Chain A
Amino acid sequence: MPLDNIRNIVLVLSGKGGVGKSSITTQLALTLSLQGHSVGVLDIDLTGPSIPRFFGIEDSKVHQAPGGWIPVPVHDAQTLTPPSTHAANNGDAQTQIGALSCMSLGFILSSRKDAVIWRGPKKTAMVKQFLTDVLWPPLDYLLIDTPPGTSDEHISLLENLLKQTAAPTSPPNQLAGAVVVTTPQAISISDVKKELNFCKKTGIRVLGVVENMAGFVCPNCSECTNVFSKGGGEIMARDFEVPFLGSVPIDPAFVQLIEEGTRPVYPQGTVVGGKDMAETNGGSDGAKEELLVDKYRSCSLCPLFDGIVATLVADIRSRDV
């Protein structure tokens, strides 16, 4: 079976669009990699693939090999030296990171402007192909980023996944479950409830709910504003009796890291503490060459995701026994 060398499969779902599924997927992948796991990311959002942009590999193309497609590598397993100024702070030794690779329809399209105007059957076939014809290296985790809704892509994703993971050759409990992403406002919650019901109907275990865009810290006065209100995700998780993994605030530095590739810098006294001036005033060339995962360690969201991922991994491991 094509997915046999993947230990765990985690879906990232949301009924609502634009709540940060791809952003959360990206950060989960980076954090898992920082914790030393080998990670793959599969983007099945066919009409609006964002994963290539998030990992800064928009120009990459997929290679065809006998037997299938080779996913696009983001970085190999390697040892990172601790970020310069933080070394003194927390006395971190060198970090072993796991390999990270991605697969998305964005790598196959010839122009980034092209619209993919497909009806359901074609999308179904493509999703199936993504699940059967990608030659993943041995992976600890495969994260699957999905489009919003509960339609063709989701139905075929689950049909195929359930069939494949039920095969005797696949590792036990391979399909670990789903992380459901929401934003705090009621409009988003009402769509995400539908997604939770979808998981219930299809028998997918919900690993937890992440509330994204909960609050925005003004870079000028450090006051936190709840742009899209707050707390809705936690209440919803309680209502559906699924774990609540945490609230993730909006961090403009993360957006900038993705959009421009600059290492996050925070004013003195913010969560991370300390500045990384040395890296940032070296000009864009120097900064661009660093790995995304390395730069991500300077982001204020990194410790937060470290906690979320640790919870997830512990949960998934406890099921494996």
Chain B
Amino acid sequence: MNKIMNKIGNSNILFSLMAILAGLLVGGVIMAITGQNPVEGILGLLKGGYLTSYAIASTLTRATPIIFAGLSAALAWGSGYSSMGAQGQMIIGAITAAIVAPRLGFLPPFLAVIITLIFSMTAGALYSLISAHISAKYDAYLLIVTLMFNYLADYLASYLTNYVFLDPVALDKLAIQTIKIEGSILPRIFPRYTTHYGFLIALIAVAATAFIINKTSFGYKARMGGLNAGFAEYGGIDSRKTMYKVLLLSGALAGLGGACEVLGTKFRYVDKMITSPGYSWSGITASLMSNYNIIGVLFSSIFLSGIAIGGSTIELSMNIPSEITQIIQGVITMLVTAKFVIRWHRKENGRKEAETK
């Protein structure tokens, strides 16, 4: 019995669950302070995110870009590189898709979509490679470089949308967006629900990333570098090469995520479509919640997407601003990184107990 408890106690799942609980608690307290009914609010949040077939479909739709960002982050952070670049790479992937896809109308839709996705992946990967190179060559903080590149990507996409590829006949004159993609899109899986084939691509990406990380020698090198850089160096793993490969792949995943968002939900690039929902940050949170476990990223992403969807629901039905979910997510993130110490403390205590016995 004790042994089982220990196993659970040591598992990430319990800590993530505790962090989630604490996050919801803080969310509830804030609702209460600001004069809302916290119980109804939290229940509404969960119901709106998970408990109806419509909610589940919306959750899975929104989870799609988060899964890609989460994979991208899990790959980079799990290999020891704290890249914040998923956002910029997603934007680059998205704008690439919005530019390429409408020009492939002459191809059968299936082929056009595949080619678009390849373009977006390549664009995301290259964009990631630039920041990787600057960071490696000039010892600049990867964190800062990738953050700056996020802003630059946002401006670049905005420029392209505004001045080069703006939809001239946009119905809503205030919207800054590219022309609508006809035909070569990712269709819905079930006509009644928004979930599109991008979600299936995300599932395939999860499987592929898990395979690469766990079953290939490249994945082995990346993992070992993340767990103990000294061990990797001692074993003859070229850390520079691994870094480039890891960040290339992580950029490709993010780019793919951006493309799926364009081809599956918006059918065009709309200014700030990646930045405002905070997909990238949710992805990083998801990867931290699962301690960089690839399969775990899938479930954490769906969870985070669910509370975001729930947040929009309660905003409409109960007039609670949906940003409450960002606060909940922030609390979860802070607690999952603090968890390492809590665990360490306990182990230390355990050791002391063992010694006194």
Whether chain B is bound by chain A comes out as no
